[in-house]
Structure 1
Amino acid sequence: MEFGFTEEDEAFRTEVREWLAGHTNDCQDRRSWERTLGKSGWIGLGWSESGYGNRTATLTRQVVWAEEYARSGAPARSGHIGEKLLAPTLLAHGSEEQKARFLPPVAAGDELWCQGYSEPGAGSDLAGVRTRAVRDGDGTYRISGQKIWTSLAHEADWCFVLARTDPGSSRHRGLSFLLVPMDQPGRVEVRPIRQMTGTSEFNEVFFDGAHARAEHVVGGEGNGWRVAMSLLGFERGVSTLAQQVGFAQELDRVVRAAVRSDAVADPVVRGLLVRQWAELRVMRWNALRTLGGSGDTGAPNVAKLLWAGWHQRLGELALLVRGAEAAVGPREWSPESPYELDELQYLSLFSRADTVYGGSDQVQRTIIAERVLGLPREPKGVV
């Protein structure tokens, strides 16, 4: 699909910019900001004609919204997991009752979601899920197990959980996709994970007999793998282009740092900066070209490989252009607060995880090889 913006799209861009400029500074906290977005109709643009979103927007206008939001400096979204992952999954696999119950609160910014997939022994190998959900006699499931790297679990009202409902099953079989309320004291515990950046965006979540209603199983019992894989297909797309706006802003900061430190006088450094700029342009053109495509083309997997490696190299370059200054914090060390990172130091540390989370590079290559190119599967047990 070749992709371009019309005059109407550009008029929509102007509307988006003006709205963001007039409302971004009004935000008190992230939850109230979600409600502000919902009240003005900006949540659910990609839900097509479902009747559950707010405004309807073409694919090009969804891109416009995502890009302008990233440029505006508006608060980081806390409702995007419900809007971009749960909602399209319910539209594809949910019952009418599930759609009517869960989509309106997402569109209004009233209910926040997190994703219960990864486990200590089942990260990239998602089929190794061990969290169990046992059907009770009162029409509920009791869930026991642990999830990890759960973004925004500390803020979420609900979690969609991939759990094993058939105790005798293994791998892809016997899994179900359950919608679980987080407000269950004593049954759901959230523990923040402190990272080497000093921040805690991710969490561990422990389920100890947590309840989920039987009518909140999406796609039917035992069909969790199909639903989960469908959801992962929604994980990339329009958001990739918004992500690239953020990448461009980071690259600009690295270039400015190179000028300040005079590292730009080094022809090798100049070459690396130009390469980062050129590769970012290519990634944008590739994302626009493939956006809206259908079928198992492997485009999302290729995109993940491209941006993860690119961003990691940018983090390395951010320290290179700073020289010795890159190892020094902006204030003196103290036991109470060991260090504080500036933007480029944070970029360098956090980007180390890019080639691991969301499916490691090895997993992306395996998917491309087996599912797209049709190459033989790796024999089991081979090291």
Structure 2
Amino acid sequence: MVASGTQPNVVTLVSILPACASLKFLDLGKLIHGCRIKVGVDSDMALMNALIAFYGKCGNLDTARSLFKGMVVRNLVLWNAMIAAYEQNNAGTDAIKLLRRMQTENVEYDYITIVSVISACASLGALNTGRWLHELARMKGFGTNASVTNALIDMYARCGNVDLAKNVFQGLPHKSVWSWTSIIGACASHGHGDDALMLFSMMKEQGTKPNSFTFTAVLTACRHAGLVEEGRKHFESMIKDHSISPGIEHYACMVDLLGCAGCLLEAYKFIETMPVEPAAGVWGALLSACRIHGNVELAELVVARLSRLDTQTVTSYVLMSNIYAEASRWEDEARLSNLMRKQLLKKLPGQSYVEVN
């Protein structure tokens, strides 16, 4: 476009920034940021909203904050973009403070504001603040908004209160696939596997079709409850009955389930038959299971496969070293420790020093 002599306008810049954010193209986004003066839209509200969202998603919180502070007039989208930037960058306390500042300055907030701050509370484990936000949502009429309720279910679960998560779910007049998935995941992550599977059965009985995220939650529930046969059944059903192609996360859940149950060889063969290249996390799940069950020989095979991937090599070596030590194979443990030291030395950058009198 620029090469042909056509100058971009504000609509062009605003349209490109979300793509840059999704792809984490920080340098290109900065170039667009620099274009705003040339195009003559230095303080355009839509562009500033897009820039703050872009910098937040790319992890450049300082620049996002600087842009926000530099705006004399701020609309709701701008406040929401800054709160979301805080939440995305593990600055949940700042997100909560900004909502309180909105209240102090009498700035009207919407359900998007509430969802972002609830997510921040989930990351912080801030249950009391989360309950306060729940009440705010009710007062503002957002109490049954799907995005808000899903965020509340997730927040209560991550704060360790599954009962409150269930209360939110049970109070929903209409339960979407995301609502079901949220509560199934909440039960699964807290070891309530039987409850999670019961909810999954109810979901299907009521005619709601599960998606790939639902099956991740279901397989996680099977893993926590040690229900190997149930896990196998749901994995097969996902493919045959629901035409959902398993992703890496589903394979990792199955390997974790089989491994923790002691079905190590089955887990290994399961990985070998995967139609996609197994990620390091899949092999890592099996390696952890090998440590639990003291299977040194299979652990060595897994470490060899991880070494070929050239990712998390040091991490897998540390785990393998522990496996050797727990099996009293001290010579192997010492050999691997030496190999780890060599690996670390290779990764260290070259250094120089200046001698001072």
The TM-score normalised by the length of structure 2 is: 0.24
Higher relative contact order by CA 8 Å / sep ≥ 6: 1 or 2? 1
Q: TM-score, normalised on structure 1?
A: 0.22
- Answer with 1 or 2: which has the greater Rg: 2
> Which is richer in strand?
1
